[in-house]
Structure 1
Amino acid sequence: MEHSPHDVTERLDALEIKASYAEDLLEQLNLTIYRQQQQIDGLLAQLGQLREQVQSAGQGGAPRNLRDELPPHY
């Protein structure tokens, strides 16, 4: 089965368009992953800080009474 040069050109154009969309999508996905990794890194840093705060509060001596932490409207 032979294809005319016009058919081949149309198929090649279609493939180039698909490749262009695929490259754009890949770039968007890479950017999304990069941003998510930044968020994860930030959250891990916050978690580390919270762990340090909890450990330092636990070493403060007497155990805390939860009633002391109730909001003033109670």
Structure 2
Amino acid sequence: MDELRQRVDELEIRYTHQGRMLEELNLVVAESAQRIARLERELVHYREMLGSLAPGMIESPDE
């Protein structure tokens, strides 16, 4: 019975640890998504700035 209790305890510890790791990973993913969105907005802004300085010289990514 002690062996079973020990195995259950180990599983509970692992479960708790994985839960914490999942929360931390979720924060990293959310922060990364926010950063990507900000960088995309900046890119659009800089493309618009360059477009106004030299119209017709900037190719779109599709070309």
What is the CA–CA distance in structure 2 between the aligned matches of 1:20 and 1:29, rounded to whole Å?
14
Which of 40, 49, 52 is the matching residue for 1:44? 40
Aligned length, in residue pairs? 55
Root-mean-square deviation (Å): 0.7
| Residue identity (%) | 31
**Residues 24-63 of structure 1 mapped to structure 2, 5 A cutoff:** 24-59=20-55
Aligned partners of 1:6 and 1:28: how far apart in 2? 33
TM-score by length of 1: 0.72
Q: Which residue of 11, 19, 22 maps to 1:23? A: 19
| RCO higher in structure (CA 8 A, sep ≥6) | 2
Give the number of the structure whose alpha-carbon radius of gyration is greater: 1
Which structure 2 segments of 5+ residues have no match?
56-63
Q: Which runs of 5+ in 1 are unaligned?
A: 60-74
TM-score (norm 2): 0.84
Distance 2:39 2:4 in 1: 52
Q: Report runs of 4+ in structure 1 exceeding 6 Å deviation.
A: none
Q: Deviations over 1:24-46 (max 9, x none)?
A: 00110010000011000000000
